[in-house]
Structure 1
Amino acid sequence: MENKAHALIAGAFVLLVSALLALLALWLTRDNTQRDLYEMSTSEIISGLQPQALVRYRGVPVGKVELIGFDTKQKGNVLIRVSIDRSAPVTTSTFATVASQGVTGLGFIQLDDEGESAERLVPNDEDPPRIPLKPGLIDKLIKQSEVIFNQAEQASMRLNKLLSDENQQAVNVAVTQLSEAAGSLNRVAKGLEPTVATLPALSRETSVTLRAVKVASDEVAGTARRLNEKGGPIDKLAQGGAALAAGVETFSAATLPKLGEVADETARAMRQLRRTVNAVDDNPQSLIFGNGPPVPGPGEAGFSPNGAQE
């Protein structure tokens, strides 16, 4: 009988301890946080997201996923219902994305807000308001994967075309031509070595020549300045030219008219001298006896057709 009594006592103690542990677990896991229901609808793939997954607001846990199903309001969309702490700043501009957690690949809901609106999104558990669900990084990668694959395929086709036998032959020809051109350049370089060696001496001679040209240029400039100075040769030459012009003008205005008169007088004297010479030739005795009376003309007394006086 005692063994049965001890077994009953031990069993009751175990039951009591189990009940206490269950109550402690319930007390420790109790959740007094008030949450509001929100919904999200998307046509994107949400693989990796499971019920009871975390909901984070900029990395801070604020709720969990309550339900994942199909949207009856928008055919073909997936409906996600979440419960979010009332203390979370959910506004009308808040949006959600599906993110991946670490290396496990488990998905969670990431909330964010660009601050476009400060108006709080009013909760309603009977008809939960909807938060926009935008494509996440994984969705963008999935969408871009096809484009990336197409581009990779095009790049592969172009690479195959570039590495065709004809192009390889053309590349070999080009390489050969480049090699020949390099050899020609080396030969030209070797031929230019003597010329290059003389360049320093030529440069020095050119410098000396340039200095001599500069000195000559300075001397020419100095000579030009001296020639153009006031009282210099060019100034005196200009003054002499002006004086010569004035003398020519005076000669033209005063001397030339007088020379004209003298020339006229000389011409008259020459004509008179010519007549005198002619008269002497006709009547030489006039130098001794004079000219005598003039010969009578026709109709005058003593006129004779033979020219003799009667």
Structure 2
Amino acid sequence: MEVKNYYTAVGFFAISILLLSFYSIYWLSRNDQYNGPTTELIIRIPGSVEGLAVNSSVRFNGIPIGHVTGLFVDKDNPHYSMAQTLVRVDVPLYPSTKAMIKAQGITGMTYIELSTERTENYTLFQTATKEKKIAMITAIPSGINHLLSTAEDTLNKINVSSDQIQKIINNADNPLNRIIKNFETISTILVDNVSDLDKMIHRKNNVAVDFTKTLSNTSDFITSLNKTIKAVDIQKINQIIENIQVVSNNFIKSSDQVTNTINDLQETTHTFQGVGKKADHLLSDVSSQIHSKEAFDFWENISESSSNIRNSTSAIREITDHSQKIILTIDTIEKMTENLNNSSIKLKELMTTINSFTDSEGKKSLIEDAQKAIRSFQNTTEKINEYIPPIAKNLQNFSNSGLYDLQNLIRNLQETVGHFDDSLSNFERNPQNIIWGKETVKQYKPKH
């Protein structure tokens, strides 16, 4: 009985161990070992994957979410290695998720770290399901791996740089020794001349004190100058400038009116000259046909009228030559131009009458028309002679009183400018008079 009980206990123990082993295998191989269903994810890693092995951990922000199930080389690009992993499906992995190989603390265990910076509409697994592909992420090169891979190149560059630095030092050995010797000589000279340097520094201090005094005096001068400028009434200066502007504008407006009047006079003068030429030509034709006493009187009257017109024209020309002095006689000159225009119209009527004479048979009509024209010329000359004396009087008044006032104004302005110039020159020679004033009491100077 005891032997049978022994075999029964051994068999029961062996069966229990076998069941536990099967359960352990099942527990290790189950898909929900990370508290959820898992799916396949391939991570493309550039460069070397040294330290990474099968069953290495895959973490998201430091939390384990899966493990590596296989490692192989990318057939399309041998520079990349492929890490086949199983990770949880509900982890928020997006196409912008970053992957990197890292080492864990002191132990140095290598794992894959995943991190997501922003959320997107579709996860990496949803996109892969639509495209019927396996989800894939390209990892960022690890800083440690990159350092290890480039360490040899870095050391080579350091060796080359050290050789070049050594050559530069060898070439610059003699110049450096000379520079050191020069510094030694300069230091000995400075030590020997310390007393002179102290004297120089003391002089510089005195100069600095004098300069500060000068600056204080300058600041006082500037403050007094500001007070002087503030004491000036700016409104009065602005009012003087505005008055000068008003006077200049009035003078410009008057000059425009004078120029217009002179142009009218010149046009009237040209009209008289043309009419006179035509009248002389026609009268020469008429004089060849008429020899009576009335025609002789007619010719004399016309000659007198033409002489009067020439005198008037010369007077008008003298007036136009003095265009700057007729500002006060604009209205009178405009009336005179109206009379001259009326006279030109009457001359034109005379020309038409003379032209009709060449076609008419009788001479009485010509003489009557000529007498009428002569009367109109006489009236015109009388009117011109009446207007000339007041014009001359006005011009004389302007030349006497107006020009005298203008000269006085210019003289006063010149005196004002002279006083201002003298004030500026006195200020430049001795600016202390404005700040401290002039000496009112003379100091006593004893005679020896």
Deviation at 1:185, TM superposition (A): 1.4
Which runs of structure 2 are paired with 1:229-248 in the superposition (5 Å)?
Answer: none
Residue 190 (structure 1) aligns with: 195
Which runs of structure 2 are paired with 1:82-93 in the superposition (5 Å)?
Answer: 82-93=85-96
Distance 1:152 1:222, change over 3 A: same
Deviation at 1:78, TM superposition (A): 2.4
**In structure 2, the residue corresponding to 1:130 is in which secondary structure?**
strand
Residue 172 (structure 1) aligns with: 177
- Of residues 30, 38, 41, the one that matches 1:38 is 41
**In structure 2, the residue corresponding to 1:131 is in which secondary structure?**
strand
| CA–CA distance in structure 1, aligned partners of residues 432 and 79 of structure 2 | 96
CA deviations 1:179-226 (Å, max 9, x no partner) are 1101111222223345656887898899999999x9x98578544497
Structure with the larger helix share: 2
Deviation at 1:31, TM superposition (A): 4.9
The share of aligned pairs that are identical, in percent, is 18
Distance 1:86 1:196, change over 3 A: closer
**In structure 2, the residue corresponding to 1:40 is in which secondary structure?**
strand
Which runs of structure 2 are paired with 1:261-280 in the superposition (5 Å)?
Answer: none
Which runs of structure 2 are paired with 1:68-147 in the superposition (5 Å)?
Answer: 68-74=71-77, 77-115=80-118, 117-121=120-124, 122=126, 123-124=128-129, 127-147=133-153
| CA–CA distance in structure 1, aligned partners of residues 148 and 168 of structure 2 | 30
Q: AA paired with 2:158? A: A
Residue 311 (structure 2) aligns with: none
Deviation at 1:45, TM superposition (A): 1.0
Which runs of structure 2 are paired with 1:150-169 in the superposition (5 Å)?
Answer: 150-164=156-170, 166-169=171-174
Deviation at 1:89, TM superposition (A): 0.6
- Please, what is the CA RMSD of the aligned residues? 4.0
Task: For structure 2, list consecutive stretches of 5 or more residues without a partner in the other structure.
Answer: 221-429, 441-448
Deviates more, 1:100-109 or 1:124-133: 124-133
Task: For structure 1, list consecutive stretches of 5 or more residues without a partner in the other structure.
Answer: 227-310
Residue 4 (structure 1) aligns with: 3
CA deviations 1:1-48 (Å, max 9, x no partner) are x34223213313422542464466467655523111111334411111
Distance 1:58 1:34, change over 3 A: same
User: Larger relative contact order (C-alpha < 8 A, sep ≥ 6)?
Assistant: 1
Q: TM-score, normalised by structure 2?
A: 0.42
CA deviations 1:145-198 (Å, max 9, x no partner) are 35533441243123212331x423322221121111011112222233456568
Q: AA paired with 2:87? A: I
Contact 1:94 1:132 in 2 (8 A): no
CA deviations 1:205-254 (Å, max 9, x no partner) are 99999999x9x98578544497xxxxxxxxxxxxxxxxxxxxxxxxxxxx
